[in-house]
Structure 1
Amino acid sequence: MTTTAGKVSKKKTWPAIALVLIATALLIFVIALLDRSPRTDDAYAYADTTDVVPEVNGRIVALAVHDNQAVKQGDLLLQIDPRPYQDALARAKASLVALDRQIELTQRTVNAQQYNAKSVQAAVESARAAAVQADDTLHRTEPLLLQGYVSSEDVDRARTAQRAAAAQLNAARLQAQQAAAAVSGVDAIVAQRAVVMAEIAIAELNLEYATVRAPFDGRVVSLKTSTGQFASALKPVFTLIDTRHWYVVANFRETELKGVHTGTPATVYLMNDTSQRFRGVVDSVSYGVLPDEGGLALPGGLPRIQRSLNWVHVSQRFPVKIRVENPNPELFRVGTSAVAVLNPGRGNAAEHG
């Protein structure tokens, strides 16, 4: 009876041992698989965003989009009342026309002053020639008085003519100086023209800013305004998600990042539809997170990754940014829960950065 019971006991023990061995083998296989292809469900979908910020003040007269609407690059987003900026542009252009007219008239005056100065300078030359001639006449006449060829009256007339010619020359020189001093210029007005041209450029730019268009393909979110609302410059009206590029940001343990670099292949899927898999590549691996432990002051802008246990030391997690190839635009939303699997062994060595 004892021998038979022992045989029965051994028969019952072998299946249990086999089950333990199979479970152990499966566990080793899973651990090895996870070691080669790290996986995490601590991930979410991400896309770059930008605030739509008007660069001029004004009342919104047209709001061409609604919340969560998809838009294309160049589509009209909103229109700020352009009339104040149209008036400013018209006023600046009118100032330019008036200034050009003033420059033209001033140039005519300057030309007349220059012609007058040249005329007076010619009179100076004429007076100088007359003075030279009067001097020569006096010098020829004075010696002839002693020889009796001329009378004293002739000499007096020559002296008087010489003094008159000298006086006329001095008067002509003074007139020439006055005429030269009266010649003005247009430099100051031309400088004003440059200022008006700058005002026109600013007015044209402000008028262009009154029409806000989509800078890229995206989707409107956080729209909480309507037509008639006053928009202030540099204050966001709504947010635009850049749907041209989608990412999954996955937090992997530091022990899983060996061999992971820019270009490492990855597979991701979203929790809102686990049946669709998407290929991707690692865009970048974070080089800093804000640790939970105190004693180390780091910039507050670093991401904070909560550790799952506080009673035992666990590996820190670092964000890995994965660029998704051919994402489904109907599924991807910023913040959607995701699962990411990395394949370091399949990466292109040439892309290792």
Structure 2
Amino acid sequence: MTTAAGQAAKKKTWPAIVLVLIAIVLLIVVIMLVDRSPRTDDAYAYADTIDVVPEVNGRIVILAVRDNQAVKQGDLLFQIDPRPYQDAVIRAKASLVALDRQIELTQRTVNAQQYNAQSVKAAVESARAAAVQAADTLRRTEPLLPQGYVSAEDVDRARTAQRAAAAQLDAARLQAQQAAAAVSGVDALVAQRAVIMAEIAIAELNLEYATVRAPFDGRVVSLKTSTGQFASVAKPVFTLIDTRHWYVVANFRETELKGVRAGTPATVYLMSDTSQRFRGVVDSVSYGVLPEEGGLSLPGGLPRIQRSLNWVHVSQRFPVKIRVENPNRELFRLGTSAVAMLNPGRAAQAEHK
């Protein structure tokens, strides 16, 4: 009886042992899989965004988009009343025309002054030649007076002619100096023209800024205004999501990041539709998070990752940015909950090949 009871007990024990062994094997397999392909549901969809802000002040006269609308690059978003900036362009161009006419008239005056200066310069040369000739005549005449070849009257006439020629030369030189000083250039007006050209360029740029277009394919969000609203410089009108590139930002434990680097393959899906899987690659791994202990004072821009347990020392999590290949643009929304799985082993195999 005792032997039969022992055999029956052994028969009951074997299934339990087998179940324990199977559980251990499954646990080892799961640990290996988790170690080779870390997975987390602490993730969300992400895309770059910009605040659409006007670069000129004015009242919105055209609002061509609505909230959550998809737009293409170059599409009109809104237009600020362009009339003040059109008037500024017209006024600057009119100033340029007036200045060009003033430069033309001034140039004519300068040309006449230059001709007069050249004429006076020629008169100076003529007076200099006459003075030289009168001086030569006096030098030849004076030695002949003692010998009786010329009269005293002839010498006096020669001296008078020499003095008159010298006086005429001095007068011509003074007139030449006055003529040269009277020649005023147009340099100041030309410099003023450059200033007006710059004003025209600024006015045309402001007129261009009055029309705001989409800088890339995206989706309008946080639109809370309408036609007639006064738009101010550097004050956002709405936000534009860059839908050209979608990412999933997943927070992985630091113990799971071994071998994870830019280019590591990944698989992601969104909680809004778990039936669709998307391939991706790691774009980058964060090199800093804001620690909650230690009293360190670090820039507030670092991400803050909450730890789930306060009484047990748990591994820190670091954001991993995954670039999604061929995302469903109708499904992806900024902030949507996601699940991400990394495949660092696949990347290592590709490198060995």
**Where on the TM-score scale, by shorter chain, does this alignment land: which range?**
over 0.9
Q: Tell me the TM-score normalized by structure 1.
A: 0.96
Partner of 1:144: 144
Q: CA RMSD in A?
A: 1.6
Equivalent pair of 1:268/1:277 in contact (CA under 8 Å) = yes
Partner of 1:287: 287
Partner of 2:190: 190
Whole-angstrom distance in 2 between the partners of 1:106 and 1:255: 81
Equivalent pair of 1:262/1:351 in contact (CA under 8 Å) = no
Whole-angstrom distance in 1 between the partners of 2:148 and 2:27: 151
The DSSP-based 3-state class of the residue aligned with 2:173 is: helix
The letter of the residue matching 2:54 is P
Whole-angstrom distance in 1 between the partners of 2:261 and 2:143: 115
The C-alpha deviation readout for 1:142-195, integer Å capped at 9, x for no partner, is 333333333332222222222211111111111111111111111111111111
The DSSP-based 3-state class of the residue aligned with 1:347 is: helix
The letter of the residue matching 2:77 is L
Whole-angstrom distance in 1 between the partners of 2:124 and 2:27: 117
Partner of 2:242: 242
Shift of 1:228: 0.7
Partner of 2:125: 125
Equivalent pair of 1:220/1:241 in contact (CA under 8 Å) = yes
Equivalent pair of 1:107/1:186 in contact (CA under 8 Å) = yes
Whole-angstrom distance in 2 between the partners of 1:293 and 1:157: 116
Partner of 2:18: 18
Whole-angstrom distance in 2 between the partners of 1:21 and 1:350: 35
Whole-angstrom distance in 2 between the partners of 1:190 and 1:257: 66
The letter of the residue matching 1:174 is L
Whole-angstrom distance in 1 between the partners of 2:213 and 2:351: 37
The C-alpha deviation readout for 1:270-289, integer Å capped at 9, x for no partner, is 00000000000111111111
Partner of 1:271: 271
Alignment of 1:5-44 (within 5 A): 5-44=5-44
Shift of 1:351: 7.6
The C-alpha deviation readout for 1:243-297, integer Å capped at 9, x for no partner, is 0000000001111111111111111000000000000011111111111113222
Partner of 1:99: 99
- Identical residues among aligned pairs (%): 89
Whole-angstrom distance in 2 between the partners of 1:330 and 1:228: 31
Whole-angstrom distance in 2 between the partners of 1:140 and 1:10: 160
Unmatched tracts of structure 2, length 5 or more: none
Q: Assess, with a 3 A threshold, how the Cα gap between structure 1 residues 136 and 241 changes in structure 2: closer, same or farther.
A: same
| More displaced 10-residue stretch of structure 1: 267-276 or 99-108 | 99-108
Partner of 2:299: 299
Whole-angstrom distance in 1 between the partners of 2:282 and 2:216: 23
The letter of the residue matching 2:8 is V
| More displaced 10-residue stretch of structure 1: 33-42 or 9-18 | 9-18
Whole-angstrom distance in 1 between the partners of 2:304 and 2:205: 42
Partner of 1:214: 214
Whole-angstrom distance in 1 between the partners of 2:318 and 2:349: 22
Alignment of 1:307-318 (within 5 A): 307-318=307-318
Q: Assess, with a 3 A threshold, how the Cα gap between structure 1 residues 90 and 350 changes in structure 2: closer, same or farther.
A: farther
The DSSP-based 3-state class of the residue aligned with 2:145 is: helix
Q: Assess, with a 3 A threshold, how the Cα gap between structure 1 residues 25 and 348 changes in structure 2: closer, same or farther.
A: closer
> Do residues 77 (structure 1) and 57 (structure 2) align?
no
Equivalent pair of 1:263/1:348 in contact (CA under 8 Å) = no
The letter of the residue matching 1:7 is Q
Whole-angstrom distance in 1 between the partners of 2:348 and 2:24: 34
Partner of 2:134: 134
Aligned length: 352
The letter of the residue matching 1:272 is S
Partner of 1:158: 158
Equivalent pair of 1:267/1:280 in contact (CA under 8 Å) = yes
